[in-house]
Amino acid sequence: MTTAVRGGAGLVVVHLGRADARSVLVYGAGLVQGLALVSFPAASSILLSASGYDLSTTQYGLMFVPQVVLAITGAATSPLLAAQWSLQRVLQVGLVSNLLAMLLLVLSQAVSTSPAAYPVLLCATGALGFGFGTTVPALNTFAARLRPADQDRSILTLNALLGTGTALAPLLIALFLALGAWWLLPVLAAAGLVMFLVLALRTALDAGPAQQRTTGQRQKLPTRFWWYATAAVLYGVCETLFGNWSSVYLTGERALSAQTASLALAAFWACVTLGRVIVAALTTRVAATVVFVVLPVLIAASNLAVSSSHGAVAAVLAFAAAGFACSAMLPLTLSLAGEEFPRLGATSSGELIAAYQVGYGFAAFGVAPLESATGIGLAGVYLVGAGVAIVLAVIARVITAGTPRPAT
């Protein structure tokens, strides 16, 4: 910094300009990734409607299988790809894959009433999965390097913006539905992805020294790391019950309107975002480990509230509470693991995003078989979700017990 000042004001301006561009790229790409990620759940009313794609609940759940498989593949292999190319190239590939997903979703509208629609949707969710699996670990690594001394806040900021995108998706779908053009949502996401892809091609990002030490071989993960991975799996189950099944639950089981279901989903994702902002401020006064242990208890309580909600107001409030409860759980899992295992670098975030996607998969396409086998309905599934959250609370306590030194 001192040498930059001595070099002249122009150099300072250029330096700050590049720093601003890095922040815009990392945080902006997170926002658009969130918008793309929730495009499919936000459009569930169209996908399940007899006048739309006319999918069954089983088809709807299975539609996310390619997304989960390729997200896990992308997240687990992103450190290896980064070693062969660079982490920035992995980010670029991820953005292209997300863009392909949005274009396929738009194109599927042309064949929505034919048998060809479902294969196109499967390809779209697969592309989205690979894009998510490669983009999000890279963004978390780059976000940590924007402010290395304050990783918790940087990662929470990134995930708050990602959450903003997920909150906007159902609101925009409701608006575009009123205009008779729901497909404008993936068009908007595609436009944003093109913009940040161009920026990613022109702006150099810092992946940190951990990436330079990465070899082409898979790093051995410490035993304690698997507690973090378990937490990510359990959290993925909890979040997906709220995020993917809210519209199906509220319209099908509680007989509420599609507008109310969209509002409840938007409330969930908006409160996920708001909660991340609040926690980012709170962690300056309260230890992140304390928040990490409390949140799963709140998730369990939120599952109970959702399961018992009947009216529109109660449903929206219950999903809003669930959003606050879920808000910082995944970002804190990523940042706490990054602090404890700094030499894992991109491997840490990649493996944890893969673990999160395993939980996503369990909830995304496991709900319909669970309902069919037990007859408990989605209200009962949310009670199961409360039990999962209690187990998550126990795992969080195990992770935070003691103060282990960063692994070497």
Q: For position 269, what pLDDT does the model report?
A: 87
Model confidence band, residue 57 (pLDDT cutoffs 50, 70, 90): confident
Is 141 a residue whose pLDDT tops 90?
no
Tell me the pLDDT band of 212, cut-offs 50, 70 and 90: very low
DSSP assignment of 317-359 equals HHHHHHHHHHTTHHHHHHHHHHHH-GGGTHHHHHHHHHHHHHH
- Name the least confident of 88-97, 195-204, 251-260, 387-396: 251-260
| CB burial readout 356-385, b (16+ within 10 A) else e | bbbbbbbbbbebbebbeeeeeebeebbbbb
Average pLDDT over residues 342-366: 85
Write down the pLDDT at residue 18: 56
CA distance 137 to 139: 5
* The pLDDT of residue 146: 86
Work out the average pLDDT over 13-26: 68
Taking the C-alpha atoms of residue 267 and residue 99, their distance in angstroms, rounded to an integer, is 26
Calpha distance 162→140 (Å, rounded): 11
Ranges of each domain in the chain: 10-400
pLDDT band at 6 (very low <50, low <70, confident <90, very high): very low
Asked whether the predicted pLDDT for residue 215 surpasses 70, the reply is no
pLDDT higher for 18 or 259? 259
Helices 225-248 and 312-326, packing angle to 10 deg: 160
- Residue 383 — pLDDT band, cuts 50, 70, 90? very high
The DSSP symbol for 53 reads T
Report the 10 Å Cβ neighbour count for 330.
Answer: 25
Question: Among the listed ranges 47-51, 214-218, 224-228, which one has the minimum average pLDDT value?
Answer: 214-218
pLDDT for residue 145 is more than 90: no
Q: Which long-range contacts (CB under 8 A, 24 or more apart) does 83-89 make?
A: 83/214, 83/215, 83/216, 84/216, 86/207, 86/211, 87/138, 87/141, 87/142, 87/205, 87/207, 87/211, 87/346, 88/138, 88/200, 88/204, 88/205, 88/207
pLDDT class for 186, splitting at 50, 70, 90? very high
Q: Is the pLDDT of residue 5 over 80?
A: no
Least confident of 7-16, 175-184, 294-303: 7-16
CATH classification of 10-400, choosing from 3.50.50.60, 1.10.3720.10, 3.40.50.300, 1.20.1250.20? Answer: 1.20.1250.20
| Among 198, 214, 202, 71, CA closest to 141 | 214
> If we measure between CA atoms, which residue out of 29, 7, 251, 291 comes closest to residue 140?
29
Confidence of residue 19 (pLDDT cuts 50, 70, 90): low
Please state the rounded mean pLDDT for residues 193-208: 91
Q: Per-residue b/e over 31-40, b at no fewer than 16 CB within 10 Å?
A: bbbbbbbbbb
